[in-house]
Structure 1
Amino acid sequence: MSTLHEFTTWEPLLHVLRSTHTATPGAPGGHIAGRIATDAYSMSMPWGGTFTMHGHASDAADKEPELDAVQRVRGVLAEAGVDGVSFVTRMSPDGPAALHLLHFGPAVEAEVGGPLPGALVLVEGAVPEPWRRLPDPMPAAELSPAADPAALESFLRERLPDAVGATEAELAEAEARLGVALPDELKALYRVIRARWEDWNGDYESAVQVAEAVGCELLPLDELYIADAASRWLSWRSAALQAEAVDTRSDTAVQGLVGSPGWIVFGDWDGDRLAIDLTPGPGGYTGQVIVLTREESVGAGLIADSLTQLVLPGRVKRGPRSRADVEPPAVAHVNIRSLRSVEAAAHPALEVLSIGRWEGEPLSLEPVVNLPRLRTLRAEPGTLAEPLEISRLTGLEFLELCPQDWRVLLDADAVPRSLLAAGIKVRNDVDPLPVVDLSNEILARWDRPLITRTTLEGNLGPLP
């Protein structure tokens, strides 16, 4: 671990934290917690009692001691090959200080925005159910009447007479790498332009001409990739609580999926990705062009019925079909602003039940006990009338509860064995150490690697 577990490595940071949290050191139960990571996006630091994301302190020009102290630890993390570490410290105004370093390990996701553990992954390699879904077979799916590989190739050769195209051997190599046959329209496109930067001799205008001709920034042939579920990573908790359920209805052109082995990404469209869809929905065409937006991790939108339609001028483009959402949602929120009862959320298609802020009597889970697709439950503290009812939800794969409700389940040995991951619902300002102890108790039930805690002690001297 290099010098990561030496008190002197952390001493400058502890001095800064003690000076900016004058009400905390020495207070009964007082603690200061944060997370430092080599990736600034994953950091959170409690400057002045307020968490700041990405490790940035406000008024950075006036915060050189803070930034220097953080950079000192980040440098040691990088040397040790450690992505990040959470910390909890208790310091006395007189000088004694204890620092607890928390290494989450392979079974725990770090939570962006704080020092607490994120999702506890109880089964190695497990992913949420939407990430496991494969496209439904559509044997009747056909090419669009607008698909015309010959016309597409002819148009592009006219627009890009000096372009360097791919050879048949290069096309075959791309197919072998991807494990799927390229559709005729895509091969026609790359026969004209293989989109390698070296082919343009550093001429940016040539790249612009290609983008204007094709309608997007074309990926080089050897950078085509399959937009399967693994290519659209999301944290376990976020994925399990997806607000947009994955579904495919009878009139949809694009199947409601996280990813598909038939989505071949070929272009960049203002930061979003364009793909050829070889696994269309019941209302779509094989080879249609879809967009995977960077804001979403589920689903894709329809752009054109074919690549020919996308590229050739005068061909009508089309976007996602709008349709009334007449069926109850697969994700239900019960709280003071949304649904007012668990009964109102219960229906056979329900997958995710989220119980939030509640001012009435605690709620029973009886109405959702036998629902076949319920996979996720999260409940705010004090919202459940009887936490042990959770043991009857035999299909749950993700469960997020407050420590008190987890305690009830653990003491009764009633945690559903179907769980693949779990979360502990607490405020970001709570002491992480009891949360870590509870997390390890849950992890131990599945024989998973535990969160390790290393305690360092030293003396900072009295406050000035």
Structure 2
Amino acid sequence: MVDQRPPLPAAICDFATWEPLLRLLRAYDTQPRTALPIRGAGRVGVNGWSLPLRGRRSPASRRVLDRVQRALARAGVDEIAFSAEIRPTGRTTLRLIDYGPAVEASVGRPGLGALVLAEGALPEPWRRLPDPGPYTGPAPSADLGLLERTLRERLPDATGATEAQIAAAEARLGVTLSEELRVLYRLAPARSEDWRDACAAVGCVLFPLEDLSVVDGASRYPRWEFAAKRTVVTRPDAAVQGLAGSPGWIVFGDNGGGDRLAVDMTPGAGGHTGQVILIDHEKSIGAELVADSLTDLALGLLREDHSDRSGEGPPVVAAVGTSSSLPTTADAAHPSLEVLSVGEYDGTRFSLAPLIGLPRLRTLTARPGSLADPLEVAGLTGLEFLELGPQEWRLLLDADAVPRSLSAAAITPQDPGESPSFVAIANELLTLWDRPRINQAVLEGDLGPGG
């Protein structure tokens, strides 16, 4: 069993540590004074914060935040989430939450975030390997003689890598370099002071041979709360396979803006082995065709993937409920379905029975109260991500019906203020997978009547 984490340090659980921040929350509240309490939630960490403070923050508010951050640093706590209820009398309930290593805290929305039930688990698109081929050969423009002559003209005095050095790079990467890459590095200068000329000769920021790498899907993984709902589809005529990474994507440079350039040894049916692709640093999946060959890249003959992306394609993502054209889950059921979202529609509750047995269904998100029978979830034996409301999770836990195929899970609140109230549910789920639990502390104090 995983050793559970120690409770929060006493200094962090001292109401006095948080009192200035709570007063700040009350001072920033701009709602008309009523008999209702002020509620707020946020996070404070040693390197930043996310707080419900409207408008420009004063130097005084900055000093308050600095005080809390210093207290966290002294206690060895990286970040604390909190929620507060400040009643008109000044009586205050403060909940502190230390998520721990098994939770990917939510970004920009209410809720705890994703519970990572299997350590190191990634959503399926980030684990997907390339279609094994057979692949098309190099493009007709891949001309080794022309590439060598072009580079020699541009780099007349360069002394490149030896065959032994190239072989060592291949052994390190576990892949065979394309013939064009081998030509390139046999001619690329070994001296760092000559590297600027090499970059100009190839038409990109060229990496030294020892910095060649392959694109690992895990390195582009965003977060479960976003990634679980993403899918990738490679069209039949696509030049580049729809992947997060591939052992055949050999990165040799970038475009000067942080986007990596790679030789693609695992192309789509519409591409060529050894084509040059761009991996956008702002995207977590996919790549774009830049040139049919390194020869074309060096000659400035660039192109784009003009694969036909029109048409509906297979229904890999579907939704029923609000703002959806699908009235029932039966209409969404299809062997290709991977991701289903269930919303709310005029009080209608949806059955999951039509989805049982679908071979590829891996993600289900359902708004609280949207399911006719939450226990039907137990029949979806291929799920890797499940997002439900607290009442639905409670039913599954009590019936011992939580699908054990899950790698991650999330609890959806109806009200942002609910989040701390279902830490207990989250901890029950984490315990089922023997994962580190969330720490929580509830503090009571008195701020006195507000001004």
Same fold (TM over 0.5): yes
- SS of alignment partner, residue 115 of structure 2: strand
- SS of alignment partner, residue 156 of structure 1: helix
* Corresponding residue number in structure 1 for 2:323: 337
Mapped to 2, the partners of 1:115 and 1:66 lie a distance apart of 24
* Corresponding residue number in structure 1 for 2:119: 124
Conservation of the 8 A alpha-carbon contact between 1:16 and 1:65: no
Conservation of the 8 A alpha-carbon contact between 2:235 and 2:309: no
Q: From 133, 137, 148, give the equivalent of 2:132.
A: 137
C-alpha change, 1:183 and 1:435, in structure 2 (3 Å) is same
CA deviation map 1:370-414 (0-9, x unaligned): 211101000122322222221111111111111122222222222
Matches within 5 A, 1:167-246: 167-193=162-188, 198-199=192-193, 207=196, 210-242=198-230, 245-246=231-232
Matches within 5 A, 1:442-457: 442-456=429-443
Conservation of the 8 A alpha-carbon contact between 1:24 and 1:31: no
Mapped to 2, the partners of 1:153 and 1:12 lie a distance apart of 69
C-alpha change, 1:33 and 1:445, in structure 2 (3 Å) is same
Mapped to 2, the partners of 1:278 and 1:16 lie a distance apart of 57
Mapped to 2, the partners of 1:338 and 1:211 lie a distance apart of 50
Q: Percent identity?
A: 52
Where relative contact order (Cα < 8 A, 6+ residues apart) is larger, the structure is: 2
C-alpha change, 1:317 and 1:33, in structure 2 (3 Å) is closer
Mapped to 2, the partners of 1:439 and 1:166 lie a distance apart of 55
CA apart distance, 1:298:
1.9
Q: From 23, 42, 48, give the equivalent of 1:15.
A: 23
Conservation of the 8 A alpha-carbon contact between 1:152 and 1:311: yes
* Corresponding residue number in structure 1 for 2:5: none
* Corresponding residue number in structure 2 for 1:286: 273
CA apart distance, 1:257:
1.6
Provide structure 1 residue ranges, at least 5 long, that are not aligned to the other structure: 49-57, 201-205
Conservation of the 8 A alpha-carbon contact between 2:253 and 2:261: yes
* Corresponding residue number in structure 1 for 2:294: 307
C-alpha change, 1:339 and 1:110, in structure 2 (3 Å) is same
* Corresponding residue number in structure 1 for 2:3: none
Mapped to 1, the partners of 2:77 and 2:251 lie a distance apart of 33
Mapped to 2, the partners of 1:348 and 1:411 lie a distance apart of 31
CA apart distance, 1:259:
1.0
Q: From 334, 357, 380, give the equivalent of 1:370.
A: 357
C-alpha change, 1:359 and 1:98, in structure 2 (3 Å) is closer
Q: From 23, 44, 47, give the equivalent of 1:36.
A: 44
Cα root mean square deviation, aligned:
3.0
Conservation of the 8 A alpha-carbon contact between 1:362 and 1:383: yes
C-alpha change, 1:72 and 1:304, in structure 2 (3 Å) is same
* Corresponding residue number in structure 2 for 1:55: none
- SS of alignment partner, residue 148 of structure 2: helix
CA apart distance, 1:232:
0.6
Provide structure 2 residue ranges, at least 5 long, that are not aligned to the other structure: 1-8
Mapped to 2, the partners of 1:79 and 1:221 lie a distance apart of 44
Q: What count of residue pairs does the alignment treat as equivalent?
A: 441
C-alpha change, 1:213 and 1:389, in structure 2 (3 Å) is same
Mapped to 1, the partners of 2:284 and 2:402 lie a distance apart of 29
- SS of alignment partner, residue 186 of structure 1: helix
Matching residue's letter, 1:283: G
